[in-house]
Structure formats: C-alpha cells, structure tokens
Amino acid sequence: MTMSRQGVQPTEVIDRAAKLRFRWNGKRFSGFEGDTIASALAASGEQIFSRSMKYHRPRGILTADYWDPNLMVQVGDDPNVRAGHRLLESGMDVRSQNAWPSLNRDIKAVNGLLGRFLTAGFYYKTFMRPQWLWPTYERVLATFAPGGKIDLDTPHAYHDKRYTHPDVVVAGAGPAGIEAALAASSAGASVMLVSHEHSVGGHLRYSSAAADQAALAELRTALDASDVEVLTDSTVTGRYEDNWLGIVQRNHPVAVERLIKARAKTLVAAPGLIERPYVFEGNDRPGVITSGAARRLVNLWGVKPGERAVVFSANAEGDAAVADLERVGTEIAAVIDGRTGGSISSTRGSSRAVDAVVADGASIGADLLVVAAGWTAPTSLLNMAGDRPVYDPAAARFFPSDPPSNVLATGGLAGDADLDGLRQHGAATGRLAASRAAAVRHRLQARTARALPVDGDEPAWAPDERAPLGRDPHPELYRADTHGMVDMSEDISSKDLVAAAHEGYDSVELAKRYTTATMGPSQGKLETVNTVAAIAEARGETISEVGTTVWRPPYAPVTLGALAGRMFEPVRVSSIHPWHEANNVSVIQAGQWLRPDHYGDPAAEVRNVRRNVGLIDVTPLGKLDLRGPDVPKLLSLLYVNKWMKLGVGRVRYGMMCAEDGVVLDDGVTGRLGEDHYMMSTTSSGAGGVWEWVENWLQTERPDWQVHVTPVTTAYASINVAGPKSRELMSRVCAGVDLDAEAFPYMTVRQATVAGVAGCFMWRIGFTGELSFELHAPAGHGLRVWEALMDSGSDLGVAPFGLEAQRIMRLEKGHFIVGQDTDGLTLGPSTGTGSLIKLDKDDFAGKPELAWAADRSLPLVVAIQPDDPDVVPEEAAQIVRGDTNEILGRITSSRYSPTLNRSICLGQVEPDLAAGGTKVTVLLESGERIGATVIDHHAHFDPAGERLRG
Amino acid sequence: MLLVPCPNCGPRNSTDLRYGGESHARPDPNTASPAEWRAYLYLRDNPAGWLRENWYCASGCRRWFSIERNTATNEFRDPPLPGDKRGGAA
Amino acid sequence: MAMAAIGGRLRRRPPKYSAAALAWKGLRGESWPRVWRDCDLKSSYDAVVIGGGVHGLATAYYLARNHGMTNVAVLDKAYLGSGGSGRNTAIVRSNYLTPEGVAFYDRSVHLYEQMAVELNINVMFSQRGHLTLAHSDASLRTMHWRAEVNKLGGVNSSVIGPDEIKQECPSLDTSDHPRYPIQGALYHPPGGVVRHDAVVWGYARAADHMGVEMHQKTEVTDILCEGGDGPDGKGAGGRVTGVRTNRGDISTPIVINCTAGWASLISTMAGVRLPITTHPLQAAVTEPVKMFLPTVVVSGSLHVYVSQTDRGELVFGASVDPYANYSVRGSLEFTEGLAGHVLELMPGVSRMRILRQWSGLCDMTPDYSPVMGFTPVDGFLVDVGWGTYGFKAAPVSGEQMAEAAATGRTPKLIEAFALSRFDNGELVGEKGAASVGH
C-alpha cells in the first residue's frame, strides 16, 4: 500500500493553505489544518502506525476514524490518543506506542512465530511452577502491557463542568439526527445536538454524490438558523437513570476535555452505524481497510489509499468506495461482490503488497484491499436505558427492541431508507421527542411545591406513530473460510474464540473474559458481532441464540481530568482563625475544619491552664438551638439520662445511644429560657446528631412541638479555663454575676461580653479547671477573643490548642466518642452506666441498654503504665501475659505534664476493670510492659474540686 | 442519577437526599422481646421489587418522607404530590 | 494424583496444564478438552449449592476434595462467575481489624498462595503489597490498631509514613498539597491482586474432575421444605427437602445459599430472613498504559481503591451505592467522584481515560461481616453477607462451609459469623474500623 495526497476534492475538510509541522517518532512531518494525525501521516506515505499487543504485528489504518484500534498514539504527555480522530496541531510530538525498539523493527514480533503456543488464555495454563518464579514471569508479561506512557508531572487539570437541562438531546448528527434536532426545536423544545465528529453531517460528509452534498449544505444552513445548540467533537458517553446524560466535549477552548451533565427530558439516539471488519487470514495487515476508511481518506483529506485495489463489497457503501477510488486514480484490480457469493480467503504478499486470494484460490495482485462486509449497530445508549437489542439475520445486524418511552432511536440504528426516508424519520422522531418532553416538563413542574403553577392538564403522552424504517437485506458476512483477527487491539483471532468455545467458554461473556476479545480500547465497537458470530459458529447455533454482550458506559472514553472537574471540598475555619494564623499556630485537620492544634508547646499550654488561664477556640463544637414546650421530652427520648426537671439556667451532661445501644454522641445541654434550650454535640457529630433529632421528631413524634435550628457556626465558641478564668471574665463581662454562688458549676448565663450582646456561657470543665465556655455571635468572635487576650495579660492568659485540651481531658479521664469508644461500644461500657435511667418510659436504645446490664461487656478504664516515662501508642494491645490473646487496647495515651507521668484510657475485658488490676501492654516495638488499672477515670483531681471552684 | 420525588422540593437528584432504608415500625421498647427488637434493628425484607422506604431531603427541605420504589427498575410508585400529608416516614 | 489421595474421588483424569503440554498441543495442533462438562440435571443430589460464583464453586470443590461428597450440583441462573466473582476488583488481603477477621482472611491468603499449584491453573496471584492510606489522625489511629491486631494474628502489617509510602509507590502525592494530605498508611506486603476469573474456572474445573456438576442457566425458583412454622413447611423448625428450578425439581437434604446480592431472595424461599440489604458496588477500568503503579492503593476516607493490572489498565472501585438496588447499571456520579479522588492521590494521571464501568451487587450486613453456617431451617445453610469482601474470602469460605455442610458442625473459624449473632446482639467488630475512621 502506498498512500499519497491527491488533488483538491470538493468535499475535503483540509485547508491546503495552512501547513502544520509536527514530529512522528522524532522525525519531521507536515500536514494541513483539518487533517487528523493519521490522515497527515497517511498522506506522507506512512503505513505502519502501531504494533499489535501480543504478536507485535505491524498495523496500519483500518477505519480511519475514532474507533480505529490500530491508530493509538502518544501525543506529548497524552497517552492512547486516537490518531484517526485527533486533529493535527502545529508542533505536536507524536509517538507510536507498543513498539520496541522501533515501529518498523520490533523484537517482540518474534512472538508471531510462537502464535500456535500463545493461544488465547495460554497464560492460565503455565507459569504455575515453581511458585516463587511467578513474580518474575509477571514482570515479563507486564512488559507486554499495551498503551502509552503516563508522565507523573502532568499537571492536575481542574476543569469546571457544565450542567444543563435541555428538553431534547440528540446523540449523533447525521441527517436523521439533524432533522430530529430541527424538528424538536421547531416544536418549541430546547435542543442540544451532539456530534461525535468534528463537523455535523454523519456519512454525508464523505459522500461525493451531488445530492448528498446539497442535502448537507441545506441541513447545515437550517441548523445555523435554528436555536439548536450544536456540540461537535463531543460524545454522549452514557445514559443513566431518568435520562441523566454524560457528555464529553473534546474541543472546548479552555478545558482539555469538559464533562457536561444533562438532564434531558427525552433522548434521541442517532449514532448511525459502525462498519464491521471482515474476518479472514491476513485481515489485519496494513493495506486492508474498511470501505468507510477508503471514502474518508479520499473525500475528507484527499488521500489516495493505494495504487491498485481489490474491493470486497456487500453493500452500497462498498460500491461507492469503488467510485471514490477510481476518481483519485486508484486502479481497481477487482470488485468481489459479497451479495452474490464472492468472498476473500486471505491476503498474501510481502512489504507493501496486499494480494487478495479469492475463494477459488486465485490471487489478485494489489496493494490495497477494501472491505465492505456490513454493520454493527451501536446500541450502547439504548442498552444503558435497559433495552435488549434483537438480531435480524436478514439485515445482518442488531436492532432496538423496546427502549423506554423517553429514549427514541432514529437513523441507521433504527433501520434503512434512502436519504429522504432517513430525514423524514428523523424529523418525526424530533417532533415526538419534543411532544413527550413537554409532558415531562409539565409533570416535573406540577410535582414541585414551590415551582410556578402550571397551566392546564398534563399534555397527553404522544403515541409513537412514526412510519418505521425498512431493513435492507444484507448477507451475513462475518468470517471467510479462513481464520483471521477478530479483535485487533487484543490480538484475538477467530481461531482463539472457536478454541475457547470448544474448551467450554462458550457463552459470549465467558469467551470474552477468557480470550479478552472486546476488552480493548474500542470496547467491542468493531469486534462484538464478529465475536458473537465466531462463538455461534463453534456452538452450531445462530447469532440470535448466542445473544450479544451488554454495552457499558462510557460510549467513548473520558479522561479522569474531565470526570474529576474541580474538587469542591470546603475548608471550614472559625471567625477567630486569623488570630491563630497570626500567632504561630500549628493547625490540625478535623473533618472539614482546620483547628488550632498548638502554638508551639502543648505541655506549656497545659501548665498555663492549670496555673493561670488559657483560651481555646472550640467553635466546631456542634450546637443546636431547640425551642418549644416539648423540648424536655425530646431530650429525655434522645439522651440516656433524665431531663424533665432541668431548671432554667441549668446545664446537664448527656450521652446518646443509638437504637442498638451503641454510644452515638455526648455533650451538654443547657436551658436558656422557659422553652429555649441549647444542645451541644461533639464536633464530628454535629451534622449527624441534627439529622438524628429531625428523624425522631418527624417520624416518631410528629405531634411534639419542637423547633430545631443548627447554630454551630452562628456562634464562635471559646473555652476560658484555669484558676484565673473568673478574674479574666469579670473584666470583660457585663450584665452577669460571675460569683461562684450566683453562677455555679453546671449552669448557663446570658451576658454581654466585650460589648457584644447576645452571648451565653456555661460553666463546665472538659479540662478539669474552673472554666467558662463562652458562645458569642460568630461575627464578633474575633473581637471577643482579642478582648480576652488583651484584658488578661497580667493574669498570664495564653491560647491553648486541641493537643493541650486532649492532654487535660485525659488527665481528667473524659472519654471521646469515636476514640475511646468504637462502633460496638454499648452505653454501659463507657463506665458511666449510672447515667442510664432504665426507669424512663422510653428512650433511644432502651431495650438494648436494659439487656446490656446482664451482659459481660468490655469497659473503658483509666490505666497507668508502671514505668511513668513510657507512653504506649494509642492502639497498643492489652494482652494476657506472654501470649497473643487480646484482652483490650489502649484508646488514648499522653504524657501528663501535670502529673509527670504517662496516662491512658483503654478498653478492657470486664474481669480486668477493677482498680488495681495489673495488665500487660504490648507496645508497637514488640516490648511488653506492665500497667495498672486505676479505680476511677480521672488521673488528676478525681474529686473535681478545681472545676467547681 | 436517580430523580427522587420529594413532596416539597419536587424531583431532586438522589445525591441531594439521604437514604433512610426500609420503612418498618418501631416495636414498643417496653414490651419487645429481644427477637422482636433485633428483627427491627437488623432483619430486612430486601425485595427485588416494590419497597416502601424512607428518604431525607438533606440538601433541600430537610423533611423525611416515605415512598415506594421498585429496587429492580428504580421506578417510584405513586409519588407524593405537593401538599400530600402522608410524607411522614415510618 | 495428589488430589485423589487427599480424599476426593477422581472421576476422570484431566490433561494437566503446563508449559510442556502447551507446547505439545501447540505443535500437534490439538485442542483442549472442556474445562467442565455439560450435564443433564439429575433428580437428586447429596447437596445443592445455589450460586456458581467463587464461593459456591469453592464450597463444592472442598465438599468433594475434603469430604468425599461428589454427588453435588452447583446451580447458577446465568453463567459461572457472572455475579460478583467477575465484577470485583480482585484484591486479596488479610489486614482486618478483629482477631476473628484476621484469622479467617489469613487462612484465605494462605489458600490463595497455594491455589495455582493445587488447582493447576495460573490464577496470577500477585502479592505486590497493599497500602491503606490514612488522611486524618483518627484514621491513622485505626491503622495502628489494625497493624497491632494483625501482628498478634501473625499477619504482616505495619504503619508507614509518607516518605516510605513515596518509596513504595512514587506516583502518590505525599506532599501537603492535597485537601486531605496523606498522613500515613497501613502497609500489608502479602496483599495483592488475583485474576478473578481464573479462580472461578479453576474451582469449576477441579470440582468437575471430581464429579461435581456445574449447571449454568439453571435458576432456582423455590426451595422445598417441610415441618417449618411458616407456609408450605418453610421457616424455623423445618427442614429442606429440595429445590425447584426452571429445569425441574431436585431432591436434596442440603442446600447452600452462596448468592451474594441475591441472598435475601433465595433465603426468603426457605422462610429465613436475613440482616442484609443489597447495594450495587461500582467499578471502572481505564485504557492501558505502561506499568507505573506497583502496589494496591486504598483510601477509605476518599472511598477509592486502585491497582494496575498486568495488562496496564487501572482498575478502580469505590464504596457501595447509597441506596438499596438490584440494578447493575453504572452511575455517572460514581465515575466523577472516583476520578476526583484518584487525582487527589495521583495528580499525574489526569489524562488517562475511563474505558468501561460496571457494577456488581453486594449483600451488606450491619457489622460488615459475613453470615455463615446454619439457619433455623435444617439443611439450609448460608454463606452470604459478604458485602464488598466476598472475593478475597472465597477459598476459606468454601473450605469452612464444606466442613459445616459435611459434618453438621460449625467450624471454629466461622463461629463468630453465625446468623444467630443477630438474635443475641453479638455483632462482629469490623464496623469498628468504619466507625472510628471519621
């Protein structure tokens, strides 16, 4: 085969005035604007574009379009680029993939000689012994992995996605698709027309017939004048529930690729047909091309595909290819007509010769063999909508059977007709799609409570009264009397498939998995029907009996960059955060929140709180504002303890359990007024508890009068802790008596702080010190914080972070839900079992908590290592002596700067929970150390005198 | 992306809602036997077909509602219309 | 042959797979015999296994091999391996959280290591190492917990930091640039990937050689019972007498339900309710590129796991779909979320293309642990509730279920996974890993 550029063709899409230079495997080449990479190379006489995966056979142009399995190349850092589709750009660095050391001399081609041993699935049957050699075999096999190379320095491409809600999306812009789009638009629908190709027109683009060109011009003019949005070089990649469509746009001016998500009211599938290769010996040699490839090369890019051709034609497209070839001066050595029993057995010849051997054994000298053997119906979008296509042997292809009523097929997918017939069917389909879309739109609006009211009744669901397209008879041509390649990208021959079927892999799916046929980059678009045919032949059944595989999304591959788009993961910070950043903070990620972990020395922060006064920003603490007469009943239902008698101004600690008795959350709730409460939750539990509260209120107790407002971020929360905290607070607070008797432990007061009205504060103490947890309207949080810092410099006020707080809470033995408890920790296991009031009528988890009293459960206990300088890791296991029997684990551990020793919380088996019990802790280093369970959770100030002060 | 018919917000993408699972009545916590209570906690009909289930319109109106969906086809049956008061999930 | 000596009665001598046999047949142009026979359905078997995936086939294989029970039928409504067995991402590991889980999966890894030789088929077990990434101090704490429990169970696991992670897997972004930087990982060297289909075919072939019958396109429409407290003799207190299929009735005293996503539907036929809901699990594969990802990488916080096949494709999985569903169609939001998370981990792969997505049905339980063994209906056994972990457990499940069915006693290794744990409120703690991971 020798391809070359010819004179100007009336239908060509190249601009011969715009020459583009590029590199191919390091050598300089040139082409024209409008060329694909492959057409430019072909015009320059290149015939080998890749090497096959297994046998490293040379491969040339087959279909000259997106689906051509032989035209996968690397362009810069972009692997697996479809050279049959990607437009040439100036300066492109194009390289072949899968060849070593070079495309023309490939050492692995020696595998071709071993073909009889490397049958499909051969690797399952060998390399079992010796087992230790398998990793080596594996590395060798992996070198056969096809495809391009990843450049790990490729920048993360952030590209925004687009959301759209058109009435009608038309997938495919051939004559039927364009007519459907125009008709739907005329009927008042908003329409998006999606063309996989670089320009609309489908097969008319590369037809030299005057009538076709006139029709194409007319359709393009009509489209330009219409309201239809036309996307080119874009593909509807998937149809998901309720016509949710993925569309990839490859020619976006900014994004490498852009993902469009469309909620179409109706979808029109008009993808046309894909030409199917024919299976015979040597069918994968460079120089064997489809009739569509011949027509595209000639008519779109002015490339003569060869000097002397044999054409095997079973349809009008093949006949048209003959005319196209003759026009550019290719000598037609023979036309073999597949409709009258003619066939091709094999090809012969060396280098550029592609002699065709016909049925009687005669050989016809040629350098090009053009094959027009039939069609594959790309039923992909219909499949994804749940349709099961049906095979028609008379037409030798699959047809839609019963797609859902908001998905309509037209064009070649639906049947055959002359151009007028296709256009009429397309237009009728467009009208039907618009009518049904109007009904869907009406229904959506009517079902939305806050939407504008809709006029009139829902339009009737229009019946499908389209005159169906015909089905042209076509011979069933799948394989000649010889074996050849079925799957070019996977190097799977019909012989492999027959052997697999005989071996028992005789359903399509089994054969596909065993041989890997259809698993490559074209995903069956060229191979599926030939695969099915080979299996049917092996089984002695018809194609209908064997059935076909399911087409899975995406229809065309989509880059991870387009799918990822931009990551929307908010970073949450408190209104005080700027102060932390200005003061040398180390932050820690806590879910979406960034929180102060420490300001340099957590131990010093602890000492300062214990000695003077410290401030910590605890804004992420969950806060729910609860109002209404039934709040006490709600609290009693959700917490395990009692709430009916909480007085105004009082605060109480509560623990929540799920219905299975597992600890869910904890925190304090205070009563701010007669019918007004504030609930606090753990920081990580804030969202979950809110939904939990709403669930109970809405589904179990809808008659209760409680209004819930999440106010977590409405308040900036500051814990002021330490023996000098009262003195500090007295300097900034107004309108509140801070005296110990007037504002005792476990009460709540409202106040004006640093001039900020509407603050409330409760006297609680997670740190174990006298402390005031202050909640100020978030907008004033920074002001309040700065006022506290400024007013307390003589008191030694200093900020402290999460780490210091964790140390102090551990010194006090307060457990953290989710750290000291886990997904199976029942309420009584926390060691605060006395909190659980089983005499309440009802509360979440009550039965399980009642039964738990009789069960032997692990318990949360405080533990001190015998060596005060050893801090066991959080996760260190508690084991029985020198054995590996697990009896518990350390859940929290720190070195206490207050006690100058290591301290822990842990979960242990109940028989180890008594104070004074000696346990063995296995450190991560493997060392086993002794430790002692102490008889209360608090390592420090167990009587709680400091915090009550 | 499934469209879930919220009675207030209208059909919404399923990612706007939280799935609440099969609807089933809560036994009386004071009289339920362990077998009854744990059947409520753990056992599910899990049919391949029509199922009454709960959804929470987490990114919209924050209402729980109950609806029948076919788990094989993802159709919703008799979706609640605006103003429909049977929304309360069970 | 060794197989026969171990206990199974060998009905026919299969040609052994080997390089020499490949060469010999290649030279002579001979074809290979069928991997398993096509049989007529008999009216009676000693045991019927429902579900021709890895679990059902492994159970049948071990019934024959370890217990001499060869009059066994495996029934599948489609083709062998058509469910989760051929749809999973083929990851094998034993770095679980609970001692029960660790012991169980460790046995499974051990059986996988021997499988290629034992079944005489190359299942391509590639023990390339397995990284579970932690992006928060809470999840890092869980990794330490798992590592400690693993070590006590004799399983090779340890927590490594970002620098070591970068060494094992250079394509990962271990800097502090991502929204949730990688803080560490649980590194599990024996973990890896297997060629999942080969496991299906290997068990089917080996079971067939010992006389077990595989029946494809054979759908169970009812389970026949007597003496139970429900309608038609089904339910607690009764016993199994047979199964009804689209190809006729079969009488059998033992029915083993190995149907994963369809487990509830089959169990309902015997009057047994399960703590299971069925959710699809999505997966996807890219076009191939040259090898660059040496280990299996999992990120729980980012809901993604990824490995590169020997063919060069990246294979991805995620967490299960949020709502119960029996449809195996793919979803777009899955591929979007997946791509976003993968690029957080490996920004350099943004130009790789997703080639295909699919999903399988997972039988999710409340405690992320399986339900194995006997039920209140005598002779009706379950091997279900596998959720997203089924493939990696197939060999040990088959071995243990075969022992339970053949001996009538629950083997120690699966005691913790009994259905009765849900009556007693004694769940298995694997969910602990999920619960504390936030």
Task: Give C301-366 as a 3 state SS string.
Answer: CCCEEEEECCCCCEEEEEEECCCCCCCCCCCHHHHHHHHHHHHHHCHHHCCCEEEEEEEEEEEECC
Nearest alpha carbon to residue A658 among A680, A627, A689, A632 = A689
Domain finish residue from A372, A395, A421: A372
Residue of A nearest to C20 (CA): A126
Q: Quick one: average pLDDT of C24-29?
A: 82
Nearest alpha carbon to residue C80 among C202, C244, C186 = C202
- Classified as helix, coil or strand, A734 is strand
pLDDT for position B81: 63
Same domain for A266 and A414: yes
Q: Could you tell me if C73 and C215 are in contact, meaning their C-beta atoms sit under 8 angstroms apart?
A: yes
Q: Quick one: average pLDDT of A127-144?
A: 80
Q: Quick one: average pLDDT of A836-847?
A: 95
- Classified as helix, coil or strand, A718 is strand
**Residue C278: which of B35, B46, B73 has the nearest Cβ?**
B46
In a domain, A670, yes or no: yes
Q: Could you tell me if C145 and A889 are in contact, meaning their C-beta atoms sit under 8 angstroms apart?
A: yes
pLDDT for position B84: 54
In the structure, what pLDDT confidence band is assigned to residue B35 with cuts at 50, 70 and 90?
very high
How far off is chain A from C16, nearest CA to CA, in Å? 8
**C339 has a pLDDT exceeding 80:** yes
In the structure, what pLDDT confidence band is assigned to residue A733 with cuts at 50, 70 and 90?
very high
Query: What distance in Å separates the CA atoms of residue A289 and residue A317, rounded to the nearest whole number?
Result: 13
Nearest alpha carbon to residue C296 among C102, C165, C145 = C165
Q: Could you tell me if A373 and A366 are in contact, meaning their C-beta atoms sit under 8 angstroms apart?
A: no
Q: Establish, for the pair of chains A and C, how many residue pairs have beta carbons separated by less than 8 Å.
A: 290
C79 near B CB under 8 A = no
Write out pLDDT tens, residues A679-712. Answer: 999 999 999 999 999 999 998 999 999 999 999 9
Q: Could you tell me if C283 and C313 are in contact, meaning their C-beta atoms sit under 8 angstroms apart?
A: no
C322 near A CB under 8 A = no
- Classified as helix, coil or strand, A452 is coil
**Residue A447: which of B32, B54, B82 has the nearest Cβ?**
B82
Same domain for A650 and A743: yes
Positions of E strands within A866-937 = 877-879, 886-896, 901-908, 918-922, 928-934
Query: What distance in Å separates the CA atoms of residue A488 and residue A492, rounded to the nearest whole number?
Result: 7
In the structure, what pLDDT confidence band is assigned to residue C2 with cuts at 50, 70 and 90?
very low
Query: What distance in Å separates the CA atoms of residue A54 and residue C292, rounded to the nearest whole number?
Result: 20
How far off is chain A from B7, nearest CA to CA, in Å? 7
Q: Return the residue matching tokens 């702080």.
A: A753
In the structure, what pLDDT confidence band is assigned to residue A880 with cuts at 50, 70 and 90?
very high
- What domains does chain C contain, in order, with CATH numbers? 39-94+96-121+196-274+367-435 (3.50.50.60), 130-191+277-364 (3.30.9.10)
Is the ipTM, as predicted for this complex, more than 0.90? yes
Query: What distance in Å separates the CA atoms of residue A364 and residue C373, rounded to the nearest whole number?
Result: 69
Q: Do B48 and C326 touch (CB under 8 A)?
A: yes
In a domain, A906, yes or no: yes
Same domain for A34 and A9: yes
In the structure, what pLDDT confidence band is assigned to residue C431 with cuts at 50, 70 and 90?
low
In a domain, A748, yes or no: yes
Q: Which of C287, C369, C424 has the highest number of chain A CBs within 10 A, making it the mutation to test binding with A?
A: C287
Q: Which of C265, C323, C364 has the highest number of chain B CBs within 10 A, making it the mutation to test binding with B?
A: C323
pTM for the structure as a whole: 0.94
**A192 has a pLDDT exceeding 50:** yes
Q: Quick one: average pLDDT of A625-644?
A: 97
**C434 has a pLDDT exceeding 60:** no
Task: Supply angle C-alpha A317, A321, A326, rounded to 5.
Answer: 155
Same domain for A415 and A395: yes
**Residue A503: which of C34, C138, C347 has the nearest Cβ?**
C34
Q: Do A559 and C350 touch (CB under 8 A)?
A: yes
Q: Return the residue matching tokens 């009739």.
A: A291
Collect all residues of chain C within an 8 Å Cβ-Cβ radius of residue B43.
Answer: 273-275, 422
- Find chains touching chain B: ≥3 CB pairs under 8 Å: A, C
How far off is chain A from B36, nearest CA to CA, in Å? 11
> What share of chain A has pLDDT > 90, as a percent?
84
User: What b/e string do you get for C18-27 counting C-beta neighbours within 10 Å, with b at 16 or more?
Assistant: eeeebeebbe
Same domain for A357 and A287: yes
Q: Could you tell me if A252 and A351 are in contact, meaning their C-beta atoms sit under 8 angstroms apart?
A: no
In a domain, A178, yes or no: yes
Nearest alpha carbon to residue A885 among A849, A847, A933, A919 = A919
- Domain B3-25+36-87 classified CATH 3.30.2270.10? yes
CATH code at position A205: 3.50.50.60
pLDDT for position B82: 62
Write out pLDDT tens, residues A641-688. Answer: 999 999 999 999 999 999 999 999 999 999 999 999 999 999 999 999
Same domain for A711 and A625: yes
Q: Which of B44, B53, B55, B70 has the highest number of chain C CBs within 10 A, making it the mutation to test binding with C?
A: B44
Interface of B with A (CB under 8 A): 1-3, 5, 7-11, 18, 20, 26, 29-30, 32, 34, 37, 40-41, 54, 56, 58, 62-64, 73-74, 79, 81-83, 88-90
Write out pLDDT tens, residues A346-400. Answer: 998 877 778 888 878 889 999 999 999 999 999 999 999 999 999 999 999 999 9
Q: Could you tell me if A778 and A713 are in contact, meaning their C-beta atoms sit under 8 angstroms apart?
A: yes
* DSSP string for C381-422: EEEE--TT-HHHHHHHHHHHHHHHHHHSS--GGGGGG-TTHH
Overall residue count recorded for chain A in this entry: 949
Range of the domain at A668: 616-778
Higher pLDDT, A458 or A704: A704
In the structure, what pLDDT confidence band is assigned to residue B90 with cuts at 50, 70 and 90?
very low
Number of folded domains in chain A? Answer: 5
Neighbours of A466 (CB within 10 A): 17
Residue of A nearest to B3 (CA): A242
- Classified as helix, coil or strand, A151 is coil
Mean pLDDT of chain A: 94
Collect all residues of chain C within an 8 Å Cβ-Cβ radius of residue B18.
Answer: 322
Residue of B nearest to C262 (CA): B48
Same domain for A755 and A630: yes
In the structure, what pLDDT confidence band is assigned to residue A1 with cuts at 50, 70 and 90?
low
pLDDT for position A127: 82
Same domain for A772 and A673: yes
- Find chains touching chain A: ≥3 CB pairs under 8 Å: B, C
Q: Do B21 and C326 touch (CB under 8 A)?
A: no
Percentages of chain C per state (helix, strand, coil), in multiples of 5: 35, 25, 40
**C6 has a pLDDT exceeding 60:** no
Write out pLDDT tens, residues A202-252. Answer: 999 999 999 999 999 999 999 999 999 999 999 999 999 999 999 999 999
In the structure, what pLDDT confidence band is assigned to residue C104 with cuts at 50, 70 and 90?
very high
Say how many CA atoms lie within 13 Å of C283 toward its Cβ: 23
Q: B64: part of which helix (H) or strand (E)?
A: strand B64-70
- Classified as helix, coil or strand, A27 is strand
pLDDT for position C11: 52
Write out pLDDT tens, residues A764-822. Answer: 988 999 999 999 999 999 999 999 999 999 999 999 999 999 999 999 999 999 999 99
Same domain for A770 and A903: no
In a domain, A790, yes or no: no
Neighbours of A383 (CB within 10 A): 22
Q: Could you tell me if C289 and A150 are in contact, meaning their C-beta atoms sit under 8 angstroms apart?
A: yes
Q: Do B58 and A691 touch (CB under 8 A)?
A: yes
Neighbours of A160 (CB within 10 A): 11
Q: Return the residue matching tokens 């999920």.
A: C434
Strands, sheet with A191-194, edge to edge from the N-terminal-most edge strand = A229-231, A191-194, A168-171, A266-269, A407-409
Domain finish residue from A521, A538, A562: A562
pLDDT for position B86: 45
Q: Do C275 and B47 touch (CB under 8 A)?
A: no
Same domain for A262 and A402: yes
pLDDT for position C27: 81
pLDDT for position C4: 39
CA distances from residue A260 to A169, A272, A589 in whole angstroms, order as listed: 12, 22, 33
Query: What distance in Å separates the CA atoms of residue C409 and residue C222, rounded to the nearest whole number?
Result: 26
The residue type found at A130 is P
Q: A948: part of which helix (H) or strand (E)?
A: helix A945-948
In the structure, what pLDDT confidence band is assigned to residue C34 with cuts at 50, 70 and 90?
very high
Same domain for A351 and A254: no
Q: Which of B46, B57, B68 has the highest number of chain C CBs within 10 A, making it the mutation to test binding with C?
A: B46
Q: Do A560 and C311 touch (CB under 8 A)?
A: no
